[in-house]
Structure 1
Amino acid sequence: MLNLVSLVIGGLALLLAIPAFLPLLGWVNWLILPLALIGLVVGVLSSKTSGRNLNIIVIIVAIARLMLGGGFI
């Protein structure tokens, strides 16, 4: 059950990350990171790994976008 919750949180964060790739919307990644971290914590508590892995990917993508935009050095 926790894996399903983690997958839902990760999917929501991933959907929010898509518009964050547009110019001038990179600040949305600052909102996506805490959401993905919550999903990661829930995924770690689960016995399965798919939700955790999805949230790790979302976190890596958001941090990479912040680094490219100069918002995270």
Structure 2
Amino acid sequence: MFNILSILIGLVALVFGIVPFLPFFAWGYWFVIPIAIVGAAFGALSSSNAGRNLNLVLIVIFSLRLMLGGGVI
């Protein structure tokens, strides 16, 4: 159950992460990364790794994009 919830939270973070991918909207990742962190926490509670891995990949990609935009130094 936690794995399904983690995957759903990851998909929501992915959808919300599409808009900040556009130029000048990278500050939106400050709001999307915590959603993925919550999804990774639920994924860590499950016995399967799929949801956790999805959210960890999203956290890495969004953090790299945030760093490229100068949002994280």
**Identity over aligned pairs, percent:** 47
Give 1:4 deviation, angstroms: 0.3
Give 1:24 deviation, angstroms: 1.3
How many residue pairs match? The answer is 73
Alignment of 1:1-73 (within 5 A): 1-73=1-73
Q: Distance in 1 between matches of 2:2 and 2:10?
A: 12
User: TM-score with structure 2 length normalisation?
Assistant: 0.97
Which runs of 5 or more structure 2 residues have no equivalent in the other structure?
Answer: none
Which runs of 5 or more structure 1 residues have no equivalent in the other structure?
Answer: none
Q: Distance in 2 between matches of 1:61 and 1:15?
A: 14
RMSD across aligned C-alpha pairs, in angstroms?
0.6
User: TM-score with structure 1 length normalisation?
Assistant: 0.97
Q: Distance in 1 between matches of 2:36 and 2:48?
A: 17
